[in-house]
A and B are shown apart, each in its own frame.
Chain A
């Protein structure tokens, strides 16, 4: 029988206390304890990417990453992108290009695309498709999502 352990998680630059069994996923910690629900639970099986967050800047499936293992690391969720001036350019581009339909995949998709552009500001279409290859979308057919990322390439 698992017992609880307590620790801190740094999410979008803020420290939050977290408590749970060693098997507590980062996704559940973010949604249930940190209280940020932009990060979605899709498959809970490392397949769909709806739960994508950044750990030290790199995309990770939070459903299958232990919350306790994220101690001392910097976690970024979709809520960490927009600032007081409004939506992050990627969020705006997704809206402008029609990359959002039901919206469930959108936060995870944006986190993968954000990490890609941070590492490679001028990706080819192929590199964009690889960058979001861990994110499933059942609505858009991906074309407009790729276009939304392409609209921001070469802007660094």
Chain B
């Protein structure tokens, strides 16, 4: 298995070959799927799997298949329909410098740019983020508002599902043990639309979202809202979407709209209290993050450039600005 180098062959050395540890370096999707079917666990960058092992959350499996060298999974491709296919082992470092991701799927770039440190972003993959299913993941809310569809491959075939059907709880997914996430597909960016992801953080690196929010704003020709999607980070057992925002269509983004978005976001949240924040603080702040995300997404939809990540370019308070752009209706 593996064609790149002789050392990529699964190596076994034990008096009991049947219980020997294996480490397979897959170079094709077929090899990775076969290893999974044989009982191996996937390692992409290892930044969750290995750290989790070190922290005692879960023992490292004896049978591992590394998928970071599967070229097919490391690509970002423009689809014929104008959408984008992002391979499962595309790293956060790749995403934040990809011109198409930054231009058309900006909320995802906002999220990936905030993950860990440069070293974390060099090894951490979009697929790892998705499959670990943390409710605090920074790419989750962006993927939901951008309308992502995930593609899972197994010996039985391929199935596609939205992330909301994959995530079933903190660290839990509906994927079977033999299913490999191969790609994340994003639909073509709607005309006159923009997206943004903002999180509450206590420090600027090696941080996990206290709460966060992503927004997709589409405007009609007159500049009124035609579509609004908002998803929330770290206020429920999984990333959640704020439902029932369709009735905002036709309105112009102003302080009233933002306050309603904040109220509905707070109503949708069911946060916990933990070492990062209490539940009441989380509930309040997720409303603030939702307002910032909508305001920044609206500014981008109008053609203003707000540098990635929004977290580093947004000003707050009465004179809210982002990269020199006043954010409409934004007062707190």
Asked if A103 lies at the interface with its beta carbon under 8 angstroms from chain B, I say no
With A22-B60, A133-B117 already in contact, the answer to whether A5 and B122 are too (CB < 8 A) is no
Measured in the bound complex, the distance between the Cα atoms of B114 and A60 in whole Å is 17
Most buried by B among A6, A55, A61, A63: A61
Which residues of the partner chain A approach B118 to less than 8 Å between Cβ atoms?
A: 59, 112, 115-116, 130-131, 133-134
Which of A32-40, A64-72, A83-91, A145-153 participates in binding chain B? A64-72
A1, A4, A44, A46: which contacts B47 (Cβ < 8 A)? A46
Chain B residue nearest to A51 in the complex (CB): B119
Interface residues of B in 2-30 (CB under 8 A from A): 4-5, 7-8, 11-14, 16, 19-23, 25
Let me know if B13 and A4 touch, CB within 8 A: yes
With A4-B13, A22-B64, A25-B50 already in contact, the answer to whether A61 and B7 are too (CB < 8 A) is no
A interface vs B, CB < 8 Å?
1-8, 21-23, 25, 44-47, 49, 52, 55, 58-61, 63-66, 68-69, 71-72, 112, 115-116, 130-131, 133-135
With A2-B21, A22-B62, A47-B206 already in contact, the answer to whether A72 and B5 are too (CB < 8 A) is yes
Asked if B53 lies at the interface with its beta carbon under 8 angstroms from chain A, I say yes
Measured in the bound complex, the distance between the Cα atoms of B10 and A5 in whole Å is 9
With A4-B13, A23-B60, A134-B206 already in contact, the answer to whether A71 and B5 are too (CB < 8 A) is yes
Interface residues of B in 85-99 (CB under 8 A from A): 93
Which residues of the partner chain B approach A64 to less than 8 Å between Cβ atoms?
A: 46-47, 50-51, 54
A-B residue pairs, 7 tightest by C-beta: A134-B117, A133-B205, A3-B14, A23-B60, A5-B11, A68-B23, A22-B23
Which residues of the partner chain B approach A47 to less than 8 Å between Cβ atoms?
A: 206
Asked if B68 lies at the interface with its beta carbon under 8 angstroms from chain A, I say yes
Let me know if B13 and A3 touch, CB within 8 A: yes
- 11 additional A-B residue pairs with CB within 8 Å, beyond A64-B46, A71-B7, A133-B118: A3-B19, A4-B13, A5-B21, A22-B23, A58-B122, A60-B123, A65-B46, A66-B50, A68-B64, A133-B204, A134-B205
Measured in the bound complex, the distance between the Cα atoms of B93 and A60 in whole Å is 12
Interface residues of B in 298-320 (CB under 8 A from A): none
Measured in the bound complex, the distance between the Cα atoms of B16 and A97 in whole Å is 57
Q: How far is the CB of B123 from chain A (nearest CB, A)?
A: 6
Measured in the bound complex, the distance between the Cα atoms of B286 and A73 in whole Å is 42
Let me know if B43 and A69 touch, CB within 8 A: yes
Can you report 27 residue pairs joining A to B where beta carbons are below 8 Å apart? A1-B62, A2-B60, A3-B14, A3-B62, A5-B11, A5-B22, A6-B11, A7-B11, A21-B21, A22-B62, A45-B54, A46-B51, A49-B117, A55-B122, A58-B122, A59-B122, A64-B54, A69-B25, A72-B4, A72-B5, A72-B8, A72-B25, A112-B118, A133-B205, A134-B117, A134-B119, A135-B117
